Amino acid sequence: MKRLFKRNRTTPKNIRPINAEVVPWLIAALMLVTVPHLPRLPFWTTFFVLAIVVYKLLTLKYPKLRPGRMVVIILTAIGIAAVMLQYTKLFGRDSGVNLLVLMLFLKLLETRSYRDGMVLIALTYFLVITNFLYSQSIPVAFFMLFVVGFITFCLISLNQGKAGISLAEKIRLTAPLLILALPVMALLFLLFPRIPGPLWGLPDDVYGAKTGLSEEMTPGQISQLAFSDDVAFRVKFNGTPPSPAQLYWRAIVFWDYDGRTWRPGNDARRSQPVVSTSGTPVEYTVTLEPHQRRWLFALDLPVLDSRAKPPSPGHYVLTPNMQLLSSKPIISLSQYRIRSYFNYRLGEKLTKRERTRALQLPPYRNPKAIELANEWRQTIRNPADIIDTALRLFNRDFTYTLRPPVLGADAVDEFIFNTRRGFCEHFAGSFVFLMRAAGIPARIVTGYQGGEVNPLGDYMLIRQADAHAWAEVWLDGRGWVRVDPTTAVSPARIQLGLDAAIPARENPRFLLRRDNTFFNHLDLLLDSINNRWNEWVLGYGPEMQNLFLSRFGVQNPRAYDLVLWLTVSLGVTLGLIALISLKRIPNKNRDKVQRYYLKLCKRLAHAGYERRPHEGPQAYLKRIKGTDPELGSRLDTVIELYAELRYGPERLPANVVRLKQLSDQVKLSVNPDQRKPRKAAM
């Protein structure tokens, strides 16, 4: 076991060792960049990392504890095996980040030389990028900017060697580097040619599941979303926003029911229905948060238009269910423009297959509801009157609640005849079941209803809590007609939103947002800032780049033009940075001081006293005094004046002239056998 710790305790003489004072700073930088990952990493990784940090700090105080190469190799093998057992693979977002964190801290464990420190800093810069695979929010971006500054601070500290400089001086050197890099970063961001979609392919696990609407609907599922304050999408209208009763954001249409769960089913063979519209359409732009699904959101009833850009109609399709679908899953912030009509007629004739699907019911389920619907069917001839009868039923003794009781196998029977407490999916599902049992084709539509206007950004905010379910029934001569049974139970849900529809005791968060003006205004302010960030940073694609350049009179630039302008702009910017940096170069007096000193050193070298590369003026003088005290005494005044001019606060021209005179007065005798400079003994 001793042999594992015996080798490599000391750094070889031909390798530049790392300054021990820099190691704690490197550990701090590694911890800072790893902190956002810790909640996502397995507990054993956190324990492993902390153990290495503690052990590394112990080796600084007790160098004999430094591990040998074999220990590092064994720990590396254990780390790789643990990652494989945890994730069953090494390539992917989660497994790759975990492995990178482990390897970085193992590199820290064996870091002893300047080269090791430089490699560690370079990899730490790379680990910063991995945080953006999980979140691109404003707090993460600014925290990573701080981390980059701290890593740069460590880079400066590493390059100071044993001499070192004060903490304030290191910060003073770090700040200008970051400030001068900002214009270069801005130019690369604004002018680098953009392409649609991600720049490179990423593993599948980069795009994890998100909360939101599901491809299935089960009683109690949408009510869980009502507790979420997360943003689903934002909408900016071209003109006055519609009334709350018109804000039905269509997403998914459900046809098939197995007695417990509603599913969309397959409509690939269905043809597009005949749609007729009237009135003035509403035009709006939707900024959609990534939800890893293909569906988009639009007001009833969306229409495709060649003017609806971006994206072009080729990027999304309108299904026979009038459901707007993207060609690919929404894995990043997306923006699209669309038009919708509120006055429309959806469909002229229902096919036999559609009618069969819209009347399908699971066998041997909910007999009481079927019996009730059959009574309506036998006594009421007009389908519209049957619909009104069902709505009047829900209007009596039913409660709209976020905490509905759990239902059993005959969910519709239990809901209608026993519990009578439910959320929108309970009312929509039971209503459609009753309609089908009464012989009226019906289906369920899910999406969002309502929205909150943010006056600070002049847009509408739709949250996950606005998720909603309603019904569509087929009426001959009118086509598919929207019927929302929730309005019969809680009209406030549609007119005033969810906050006004539920009791405050069920969700104190809504009470806080509704009654606390300061909290509500702060929430809207933060969302307005976040919306700007989404539009101009995360959503800065080809369209936004063209929009930005159009403000400067540039219309639809080619990639070649962008590269040319980027090159010229970077050249000009780097030239200005160089001019600013030149101001920090010593003045002419200081240049003369250095020139006079080097001239004296050259004369001393010819006399046999060559200055060593690492030798400062005082050390150089001390060595000369040890060999030739008389010459050293003559150099005392010259070296003292040089040090004062070179490193002191004042550089008076008179003192520079005096330095030249004193250095010229130093007489040196050179023996004939010393015509070549004698190499100083090392």
* CA dist., res. 393 & res. 398, Å (int): 8
Q: Could you tell me if 337 and 411 lie in one domain?
A: yes
When pLDDT is averaged across residues 476-496 and rounded to a whole number, the result is 88
Position 671 scores a pLDDT of 46
Q: Which listed residue (466, 484, 499, 527) is catalytic?
A: 484
Q: Looking at the 3D structure of the chain, how many domains does it have?
A: 3
Kindly state the tokens that stand for 617: 């003026």
Kindly state the tokens that stand for 134: 């999980």
To the query of whether residue 385 is one of the catalytic residues in this protein, the response is no
Q: How many CB atoms lie within 10 A of CB 182?
A: 10
Position 416 scores a pLDDT of 93
Q: Could you identify the residue written with the tokens 């190691």?
A: 23
Is residue 680, in this structure, part of any structural domain at all? no
Position 627 scores a pLDDT of 85
Among 195-209, 217-231, 510-524, name the one with the lowest average pLDDT: 195-209
Q: Which listed residue (154, 300, 424, 426) is catalytic?
A: 424
Kindly state the tokens that stand for 455: 């006056």
Position 679 scores a pLDDT of 44
Q: How much of the chain exceeds pLDDT 90, in percent?
A: 31
**Crossing angle for the helix pair 559-582 and 167-191, to the nearest 10 degrees:** 160
**What digits encode the pLDDT tens for the residues 240-293?**
899 989 999 999 999 999 888 999 987 645 677 888 888 899 999 998 888 888
Position 426 scores a pLDDT of 92
Among 3-7, 17-21, 220-224, 580-584, name the one with the lowest average pLDDT: 3-7
Out of 499, 517, 535, pick the residue that ends a domain.
517
Closest of 51, 45, 109 to residue 82, by C-alpha: 45
If one compares 67 and 10, the residue with the highest pLDDT of the two is 67
* CA dist., res. 210 & res. 197, Å (int): 19
Q: Could you tell me if 235 and 159 lie in one domain?
A: no
According to DSSP, the residues that pair with 480 across neighbouring strands are 346, 474
pLDDT tops 70 at residue 676? no
Q: Could you tell me if 279 and 136 lie in one domain?
A: no
Closest of 586, 631, 640 to residue 607, by C-alpha: 631
**What digits encode the pLDDT tens for the residues 16-27?**
788 888 889 999
Is residue 578, in this structure, part of any structural domain at all? no
Is residue 522, in this structure, part of any structural domain at all? no
If one compares 285 and 541, the residue with the highest pLDDT of the two is 285
Whether the CB-CB separation of 176 and 189 falls below 8 Å is answered with: no
To the query of whether residue 601 is one of the catalytic residues in this protein, the response is no
Position 611 scores a pLDDT of 87
Identify the band that residue 200 occupies on the pLDDT scale cut at 50, 70 and 90.
very low
Give the angle subtended at the CA of 642 by the CAs of 636 and 645, to the nearest 5°. 140
When pLDDT is averaged across residues 491-514 and rounded to a whole number, the result is 65
Position 368 scores a pLDDT of 94
Q: Which listed residue (410, 468, 499, 527) is catalytic?
A: 468
When pLDDT is averaged across residues 487-493 and rounded to a whole number, the result is 87
When pLDDT is averaged across residues 582-588 and rounded to a whole number, the result is 57
Is residue 175, in this structure, part of any structural domain at all? no
Whether the CB-CB separation of 228 and 464 falls below 8 Å is answered with: yes
Position 610 scores a pLDDT of 87
**DSSP summary character for residue 534:** I
Position 311 scores a pLDDT of 42
Q: Could you tell me if 151 and 248 lie in one domain?
A: no
Q: Could you tell me if 247 and 386 lie in one domain?
A: yes
Average pLDDT, the chain: 83
Is residue 194, in this structure, part of any structural domain at all? no
pLDDT tops 70 at residue 596? yes
Out of 496, 517, 538, pick the residue that ends a domain.
517
Question: For residue 441, what are the CA distances in angstroms to 31, 318, 365, 485, 520?
Answer: 61, 22, 18, 16, 43
Q: Could you tell me if 359 and 477 lie in one domain?
A: yes
**What digits encode the pLDDT tens for the residues 447-475?**
999 998 888 888 999 998 899 999 999 99
> Containing domain of residue 642, as a range?
588-674
Is residue 285, in this structure, part of any structural domain at all? yes
The SS3 assignment for 443 reads: strand
When pLDDT is averaged across residues 36-55 and rounded to a whole number, the result is 91
Position 64 scores a pLDDT of 84
* CA dist., res. 399 & res. 418, Å (int): 12
Position 649 scores a pLDDT of 63
Position 355 scores a pLDDT of 92
If one compares 261 and 311, the residue with the highest pLDDT of the two is 261
To the query of whether residue 424 is one of the catalytic residues in this protein, the response is yes
Q: Could you identify the residue written with the tokens 């790392």?
A: 18
Whether the CB-CB separation of 147 and 33 falls below 8 Å is answered with: yes
- Burial (CB < 10 A; 0-12, 13-18, 19+), residue 598, is exposed
**What digits encode the pLDDT tens for the residues 349-407?**
888 888 999 999 998 889 999 999 999 999 998 999 999 999 999 998 898 888 888 88
Q: Could you tell me if 145 and 269 lie in one domain?
A: no
**What digits encode the pLDDT tens for the residues 156-195?**
888 875 555 678 888 888 888 888 888 999 898 888 887 7
Q: Could you tell me if 436 and 305 lie in one domain?
A: yes
Residues 6+ apart with CB under 8 A from 406: 220
Q: Hey, what amino acid is at 280?
A: T
Q: Read out DSSP for 33-71?
A: HHGGGGGGS-HHHHHHHHHHHHHHHHHHH-GGG---HHH
pLDDT tops 90 at residue 234? yes
Is residue 659, in this structure, part of any structural domain at all? yes
Q: Could you tell me if 391 and 319 lie in one domain?
A: yes
Kindly state the tokens that stand for 31: 């911890």
Q: Could you tell me if 505 and 650 lie in one domain?
A: no
Residues 6+ apart with CB under 8 A from 596: 642, 656, 659, 660, 663
Q: Could you tell me if 356 and 247 lie in one domain?
A: yes
Out of 517, 536, 562, pick the residue that ends a domain.
517
Element (H, E) at 237: strand 231-237
Q: Could you tell me if 86 and 232 lie in one domain?
A: no
Is residue 543, in this structure, part of any structural domain at all? no
When pLDDT is averaged across residues 95-100 and rounded to a whole number, the result is 91
